[in-house]
Amino acid sequence: MHSDQTDQDDNDFYDRPSKSQIKRELHAILDLGKQVIELPYEKVKQLPLDEKLLDAIKTAQKTPGREGKRRQIHYVGKLMRTADIDAIRQQLDVWENGSKEITAHMHRLETLRDRLIASDEELTVLLSEYPQVDIQQFRTLIRAARKEQAANNALPDTQEPQKKHYRALFQALKSILLSGE
């Protein structure tokens, strides 16, 4: 019975993270600091960092020597312990993954624009999905883009093709799809 009580007392004594857990967390913060140092300074300035940390990151980015850079990275890691790590990670994730989503969305818009130029049935499909669309405006944009495309196909290879209406149709699609989401 006495040994059970001792085990219970030992468990009550360790109510904080282990040394190993603390070390893992500090290494994770250091790795995050390295990741931030690799970013362009214009992006670093957009992160929720205090002036002292921004200066340390700027210095680390400019430090050429291996040992000096290593020490500066560790200093950045030390300063990052007081920073909002979750907000920094979230912003890095948005920059990393958000751009992939935006790129995919833009590709879908480009495909839709090309289909609209190629076929009148695509306009019917678009109108069924987005009834608020100004049909007259879209017909005018599509017609102008088709004329522009035909004129560009007749151009010699040395002459630059016009894309004014092609881009205008893309922008109109973008505004409708963004307002409809």
The pTM for the full model equals 0.49
The Cα-based distances of 79 to 30, 31, 54, 76, 103 in angstroms read 10, 13, 10, 5, 35
3-state secondary structure of 17: coil
**Is residue 120 domain-shared with residue 157, that is, in the same domain?**
yes
Reported as a single tens digit per residue, the pLDDT across 122-168 is 888 888 888 888 889 989 999 999 999 999 888 888 888 888 988 99
Any domain includes 6:
no
What is the span of the domain harbouring residue 75? Answer: 17-83
How many residues does this entry show for the chain?
181
CATH of residue 165's domain is 1.10.60.30
Q: With bands split at pLDDT 50, 70 and 90, how would you rate the model's confidence at 178?
A: confident
Which one is predicted more confidently, 134 or 99? 134
Task: Please report whether residue 49 resides in a domain.
Answer: yes
Q: Which of 26, 54, 83 is the last residue of a domain?
A: 83
* 9 part of a folded domain: no
On whether both 106 and 175 belong to a single domain, the answer is yes
